Amino acid sequence: MEDETNLNFPAGIDSLAVEKIELRTVDFSTHIFCGSLCWTGYYFRKTESGNDIYLKLFVTSDGNACPCVCVERSFSYKYRVIYPGTYTFHFWRNDSTSIDTTIIFN
What are the boundaries of each domain within the chain?
7-105
* pLDDT value of position 2: 37
Whole-model pTM: value is 0.88
Report d(CA 85, CA 106) in Å as an integer. 6
Q: Which CATH architecture has domain 7-105?
A: Sandwich (2.60)
Would you call 36 helix, strand, or coil by DSSP? coil
pLDDT along the chain (106 residues), means of 10: 67 96 95 91 96 96 83 95 96 93 95
